A = this chain, B = another copy of it.
């Protein structure tokens, strides 16, 4: 198998380097994916409403199996602030109150988006292994308030695969900052979702915009098929 190969992607082929690549699985946590999780509960979403975000679970599982077999670094993230809310900015505090899900508000899965609560644990379908990296992040972009950039540079990682929720919120924020910092980011669009399919589509449109100046998007099928045919 070659370590460098092109993956069909929009709007241009993605120059893959599998030996220097990490898989990001962003915020696949109970507070976003479970019917009793903080966000669905506070937004009044039913299990049917969660279909778009839950549909990506088996697809990410397949990519995760492939990534483990291919030796990629695996990084799980969780949106979670300190219990004393010391790393919750006033801007985010107000925005999440506006959205109807105040950070730190109590619920059956604990305080919303707070470290150590059941709601901020990764959904049971994914079990991080000892060699995986798990990052708690206070902001939407995983690069803010964490050691992600230093960690990637230390490991010599230049290429990032993006999966998780929600596409236009934490995925897009991290994707944009990653490419801007010089990483090669590839969105796996069938492994990302939002509560609203329209909001997911807007984020994909941004990533493939301006003829490729922003980034690259493909599917998990294209990724795995391309890797296997090398």
Contacts and interface: CB of A to CB of B under 8 A. Distances in A.
Interface of A: 11-12, 15, 43, 89-92, 94-96, 98-101, 139-141, 144, 166, 168-169, 172-173, 176-177, 179-184, 194-196, 198-199, 202-203, 205-206, 209-215
Nearest to A181: B144
Nearest to A177: B177
Q: Which secondary structure characterizes the binding site on chain A? A: helix
Contact of A169 (B99, B139, B205, B213): B213
A209 B173 CA distance: 13
A177 B140 CA distance: 9
Contacts of A176: 140-141, 172-173, 176-177
A40 B23 CA distance: 36
A91 B199 contact: no
Given A89-B182, A180-B144, A199 B203 contact: no
Contacts of A169: 209-210, 213-214
A90 B209 contact: no
Nearest to A43: B211
Contacts of A173: 176-177, 180
A178 to B, nearest CB: 9
A196 B210 CA distance: 8
Contact of A183 (B91, B98, B172): B91
